[in-house]
Amino acid sequence: MAVYTDITDAELDAFLAAYDLGTPLAFKGIAEGVENSNFLLETTTGRYILTVYERRMKEAELPYFLDLLAWLAQHGYPSAAPVANRAGKTLGHIRAKPAAIVAFLQGMSVRKPGVQHCREAGEGLARLHLAAHGYPGRRANALGQDAWAPMFDGLKSAAEDLKPGLSAVISQDLATMAAAWPMDLPQGTIHADLFPDNVFFLDDKFSAAIDFYFACDDALAYDLAVCLNAWCFEADGGFNVTAGRALIAGYERHRPLSAAERQALPVLAWGAAMRFFLTRLNDWGSTPAGALVKPKDPLEYERKLAVHRAAYQGGQGLILFADGAS
Amino acid sequence: MAVYTDITDAELDAFLAAYDLGTPLAFKGIAEGVENSNFLLETTTGRYILTVYERRMKEAELPYFLDLLAWLAQHGYPSAAPVANRAGKTLGHIRAKPAAIVAFLQGMSVRKPGVQHCREAGEGLARLHLAAHGYPGRRANALGQDAWAPMFDGLKSAAEDLKPGLSAVISQDLATMAAAWPMDLPQGTIHADLFPDNVFFLDDKFSAAIDFYFACDDALAYDLAVCLNAWCFEADGGFNVTAGRALIAGYERHRPLSAAERQALPVLAWGAAMRFFLTRLNDWGSTPAGALVKPKDPLEYERKLAVHRAAYQGGQGLILFADGAS
């Protein structure tokens, strides 16, 4: 959570001159999002979030994300609709960095989701998959299953530093996943990062999803697997089956899973844990001391990997379905 | 600009349970204020700023500031009115830190004030002095003239590190100021830190003052002197007489200065430069590398000191008045 780019009133005025948003009434940097600088912008026409894209964002990819947000808004999904300037463009520049204005969304994320929040998040995810259906933008999942082994090649010593012996365990995991990874599941546009801090609630009901900057094409059920990891583990590392079942039940209210998707969930959840373990391990080693953003502990996902490994190898999966499938 | 305290939704709910503010609709950490953590809080009853007081703030002093804000709001001054909880208290606690809710204010600060902004800031300052008149709270200026020499005793080597030979110059300044400092000017409650980032404008008109956490009892004209330094210097270090005259003219629209106050302005402005030079010099040396808040360069105020020293010693002052007084 940080504000990396400082914007003066003169820079804001120059940026807003291209928009029909009236005159600014308030402008405050907000601590939301990790990768970008975000500002609350209030004008005579309403409230907005201005985002300045920093660091990791490739400008060439931004239209994919902004067009997706526009598509979702047009299809009734509660996400932040981009605001176009008078030239019809949703992407501009401030201080030579790409910048965009989106609608302000009410709602608050929850730190410790309860079972009801998991059910709501599942509903929000399924609605996203349905609303995104037909979106013409394409983006490969740069952090998908085929990327993990090459990524881990550069992280073996970091894994050993984290926990001696871990490198061999992860290598074996990756080999097992590569052999077992399902290739024929229903594909679509996925959020790929729908953690609790990216979901807003109002009155404990799902109200909006934010931060679509990992969105890509992949198996829809993989998105659900990401959520199982992000929403349904207890602080002590245990998987909360009740929360997991609620998440899936919420999802299936809008989009029932196929038998193949259910069957695949254990390996998808294991793989989803691998994806976040690998990026956290990478960030852990490469974030300079004193940086504004504190890297997330890769051990959290190392423990989730262990849970999924045991469930997969034991053949029982996560016991998510009454019929025994996964 | 920073958010030091992380507040969970559960902690916020627990805090808000003591208030009649409805249910929260949005909550975002904002990059406003240097010393404290500030959050934008939107509820079903309106918009507010929640402040968690950090570090330097002494809890025993907070009622002085909050009562002053309440007094000012009651007397029609545009500042952030504190919100009392059901027990009638404006001060509560979050994570064992003092915390308060105040009204959200529209308006935006300007980075490079023009002459018109200086005039408006002068009006805003005079209106503050008039509105605060009669406020019963008392707080000595801990950073007033009598504090500077003792403070500098611990900073002499830091001054030498900044600029060889500076220690002797500052010591001489302090002796001159101590002898010349006016003791019989009209006193009152002053803001003491009314820099451009603490003033909001709407349509280039003064709309509100914020950040009263240096407010104290001192000479009213000293507050104006702080503003002359904060608002009327060019980036190249030159004093903008036109801006200075506009600031004073704006002030005098609401509270004309006495002859003694006019006469005192050159030494008051020199002293006000000393106060900020000393605290910046102190912060410069004591802020750890990699801290979230970047200390402000003390050399900016060393240059302002030099301008005021020369004007004072030349006997011409800042040429702020057509009649020749200062």
pLDDT in tens, B31-78: 877 678 999 999 999 999 999 998 777 899 999 999 999 999 999 999
pLDDT at A302 over 90: yes
Domain identity same for B149 and B275: yes
Domain identity same for A71 and A122: no
A42 contact B CB<8A: yes
Specify if A326 maps to a domain: no
Q: Which range among A12-21, A26-35, B34-43, B196-205 shows the weakest confidence by mean pLDDT?
A: A26-35
Phi, psi of A318 (to 5 degrees): -100, 10
CA distance B192 to chain A (A): 23
Of B29, B106, B203, the CB nearest to A26: B106
% of chain A exceeding 90 in pLDDT: 83
Cα–Cα distance, A287 to A292 (Å, whole number): 10
Beta-carbon contacts of A7 under 8 Å, excluding residues fewer than 6 positions away, are A15, A27, A39, A50, A52, A94, A95
Interface contact B106-A292, CB threshold 8 A: no
pLDDT at A250 over 50: yes
pLDDT in tens, B96-107: 999 999 999 999
Of B9, B28, B289, the CB nearest to A31: B28
Residue A144 and residue A219 in contact, taking contact as beta carbons nearer than 8 Å = no
Domain identity same for B69 and B146: no
Residue type, A139: R
Separation in Å, CA A44 to CA A26, A48, A85, A275, B45: 10, 11, 16, 43, 20
Specify if B319 maps to a domain: no
Q: What are the CB-based long-range contacts (under 8 Å, 24+) for A311-315?
A: A311/A239, A311/A266, A311/A270, A312/A176, A312/A266, A312/A267, A312/A270
Q: How confident is the model at residue A1 (pLDDT cuts 50, 70, 90)?
A: very low
Specify if B121 maps to a domain: yes
Domain identity same for A172 and A288: yes
Arithmetic mean of pLDDT, A243-269: 97
The residue among A81, A103, A125 that closes a domain is A103
Domain identity same for B150 and B253: yes
pLDDT at A246 over 80: yes
Interface contact A29-B24, CB threshold 8 A: no
Buried b (16+ CB within 10 A) or exposed e, A231-257: bbbeeeeebbeebbbbbbebbeebbeb
Instruction: Report the DSSP pairing between strands A216-219 and A187-190.
Output: antiparallel
Arithmetic mean of pLDDT, B180-190: 97
pTM: 0.88
Specify if B109 maps to a domain: no
Count CB neighbours of B59 within 10 A: 11
Count CB neighbours of B279 within 10 A: 19
CA distance B69 to chain A (A): 20
pLDDT for B2 equals 55
Domain identity same for B256 and B182: yes
Which residues of chain B lie closer than 8 angstroms to A110, CB-CB? Answer: 9
Q: How confident is the model at residue B1 (pLDDT cuts 50, 70, 90)?
A: very low
Among A13, A27, A45, A111, which would you mutate to test the B interface (most chain B Cβ atoms within 10 Å of its Cβ)?
A111
The residue among B103, B135, B150 that closes a domain is B103
What domain count does chain A have? 2
Among B5, B11, B15, B25, which would you mutate to test the A interface (most chain A Cβ atoms within 10 Å of its Cβ)?
B25
Cα–Cα distance, B319 to B321 (Å, whole number): 6
Quote the tokens at residue B163.
């600029």
pLDDT for A56 equals 73
Arithmetic mean of pLDDT, A247-260: 98
Domain identity same for A144 and A203: yes
Arithmetic mean of pLDDT, A70-81: 97
pLDDT in tens, A117-134: 999 999 999 999 999 999
pLDDT at B291 over 60: no
Arithmetic mean of pLDDT, A57-67: 92
Domain identity same for B269 and B214: yes
> Scanning every residue of chain B, which has its alpha carbon at the shortest distance from the alpha carbon of A37?
B31
Of B1, B40, B290, the CB nearest to A289: B290
B29 contact A CB<8A: yes
End-to-end CA distance of chain A: 36
Q: What is the ipTM of this complex?
A: 0.85
Q: Which of residues 202-241 of B touch A (CB under 8 A)?
A: 202-203
Quote the tokens at residue A126.
């399924």
pLDDT at A268 over 70: yes
| Secondary structure element (H or E) that encloses residue A172, with its range | helix A166-180
pLDDT for B54 equals 86
| Secondary structure element (H or E) that encloses residue B176, with its range | helix B166-180
Domain identity same for A23 and A85: yes
pLDDT for B101 equals 98
Give strand pairing partners of B37.
B52
Interface contact B111-A27, CB threshold 8 A: no
Arithmetic mean of pLDDT, A271-278: 98
CB-defined contacts A:B, below 8 A: 75
Arithmetic mean of pLDDT, A37-48: 96
pLDDT at A34 over 90: no
Which residues of chain B lie closer than 8 angstroms to A42, CB-CB? Answer: 106
CATH of the domain at B196: 3.90.1200.10
A26 contact B CB<8A: yes
pLDDT for A137 equals 98
Separation in Å, CA B134 to CA B53, B71, B123: 27, 9, 19
Residue A273 and residue A301 in contact, taking contact as beta carbons nearer than 8 Å = yes
CATH of the domain at A82: 3.30.200.20
Domain identity same for B265 and B181: yes
Instruction: Report the DSSP pairing between strands A46-52 and A205-209.
Output: unpaired
Specify if B45 maps to a domain: yes
Arithmetic mean of pLDDT, B202-225: 97
% of chain B exceeding 90 in pLDDT: 83
Domain identity same for B151 and B227: yes
Count CB neighbours of B77 within 10 A: 20
Specify if B31 maps to a domain: yes
pLDDT for B24 equals 95
Q: How confident is the model at residue A166 (pLDDT cuts 50, 70, 90)?
A: very high
Among B1, B15, B27, B28, which would you mutate to test the A interface (most chain A Cβ atoms within 10 Å of its Cβ)?
B28
pLDDT at A206 over 70: yes
pLDDT in tens, B5-30: 789 999 999 999 999 999 999 999 99
B14 contact A CB<8A: no
- Helix/strand number for chain A, H first, E second: 10, 9
Of B27, B30, B202, the CB nearest to A108: B27
Quote the tokens at residue A103.
């609608």
Q: Which domain holds residue A19?
A: 9-103
DSSP-derived 3-state class of residue A288 = coil
pLDDT at B109 over 90: yes
Cα–Cα distance, B292 to B28 (Å, whole number): 18
Q: Tell me the CB-side half-sphere exposure of residue B303, using CA atoms within 13 A.
A: 12
Domain identity same for B38 and B160: no
Arithmetic mean of pLDDT, B236-259: 96
Which residues of chain A lie closer than 8 angstroms to B28, CB-CB? Answer: 30-32, 40
Which residues of chain B lie closer than 8 angstroms to A210, CB-CB? Answer: none
pLDDT for B238 equals 92
End-to-end CA distance of chain B: 36
Specify if B2 maps to a domain: no
Arithmetic mean of pLDDT, B146-175: 96
Nearest to A113 by CA among A31, A201, A190: A201
Quote the tokens at residue A185.
């599941």
Interface contact A9-B109, CB threshold 8 A: yes
Specify if A108 maps to a domain: no
Of A8, A23, A106, the CB nearest to B26: A106
The residue among B38, B72, B103 that closes a domain is B103
Nearest to B61 by CA among B52, B50, B53, B72: B53
pLDDT for A57 equals 78
Q: How confident is the model at residue A325 (pLDDT cuts 50, 70, 90)?
A: low
% of chain A exceeding 70 in pLDDT: 94
Quote the tokens at residue B59.
């809890």
pLDDT for B156 equals 96
Cα–Cα distance, B40 to B60 (Å, whole number): 25
